[in-house]
Amino acid sequence: MSSLLSVSDLAKLQTSKYVNLGSLAILVFDYCITFSEEVQWTWFRSWDVTRVMFIISRYLPFAGVGMTAYDALRASNQCTSTLEGNIIHIIGIVAAEGLLIIRTWAFWQKSKRLLIGLLVYSVLTITAAIAADLSPTMLLPGEEPPLNTCYFESTRNGAVVYIFLAIFESLILFLTIYKRVRDYRDFQSGIVATLYYDGILYMLCILAITVANVIIGAALASAYSNLFDTLQLVSHSVLASRILFRLRNNNERVHEPSMSVTALEPINYLQTSPMSMSGMGTTRSEV
């Protein structure tokens, strides 16, 4: 591709910019309609790993999305560094994935082996993704952005980064389904239903956007390479937060009225009773 883009490529770039700005609108709108839930389920509670990751995944995307929007709106011949924006995107997504790991860990009854395995695999995934993104070698064949230009595009290596992310999210999804089928098939518990059905729905949405980014980055024109760049970060922030809100809401309802939950912490256990084993009781957890 020459350094000057065709009218068709410019139109594709404009479409990509509009989609990224639309993702910013989604983030702001969702924040407004879920702010009361945030106050109810996270404010005035103790600080721990879960709350730190929530705050990062909830608020850091505003900086990342804002920087991406600025990058999309600037003139194509005005080159600015995107390193800071990429770092914010990575941290925001990692924090949201951390909340999903905690949810999966809780669903697996706080299995230490599972937690260690997921953390190790998370580090390997992050390392591989960063290495692929920084690699000077093109890992996938296809059209690349023009050299020495500052258009709103990325290389094909971005698709490889999303492949690593899609594999990790598929693993989280598989672990949730496997545990439900193996141990919770006959449960009629509100907290298990929240952990499972909400988790599956939101994970499928996140995974669908990740897979879409793989396809866009690997198969479509490079002008579309950043089409869902902001949407990826926004979806992680929005859906991971909603998982946490729904879980705490359900957990509050299954507790007795006299038992107030004041600590903001991961689910400490999924304690079953003989009644719940027979499908007639509830499963309680602490959040």
Summarised one tens digit per residue, pLDDT across range 85-134 is 778 888 889 999 998 898 888 888 889 999 999 999 999 999 999 888 88
How far, in Å, CA of 64 to CA of 139, rounded? 26
154 versus 234: which is more confidently predicted? 234
Mean pLDDT of the chain: 78
Question: Using 50, 70 and 90 to split pLDDT, how confident is the model at 217?
Answer: confident
Q: pLDDT-derived band of residue 210, with 50, 70 and 90 as boundaries? A: very high
**pLDDT for the residue 280:** 36
Both tokens of 117, joined, read 């395995």
The predicted model gives 53-62 an average pLDDT of 91
Q: What average pLDDT score do residues 131-158 get?
A: 72
Is residue 222 packed enough to be buried (19+ CB in 10 Å), middle (13-18) or exposed (0-12)? buried
CA atoms within 13 A on the CB side of 45: 22
pLDDT of residue 149: 58
pLDDT (tens digit per residue) in 165-187: 999 999 999 998 998 888 877 77
pLDDT of residue 204: 92
% of the chain beyond a pLDDT of 70:
74
Output 271 or 152, whichever has higher pLDDT: 152
pLDDT over 80 (residue 214) = yes
Mean pLDDT of 274-283: 40
Query: Is the predicted pLDDT of residue 244 greater than 60, yes or no?
Result: yes
Is this prediction's pTM over 0.85? no
What band does 2 get if pLDDT is binned at 50, 70 and 90?
very low
Mean pLDDT of 24-52: 90
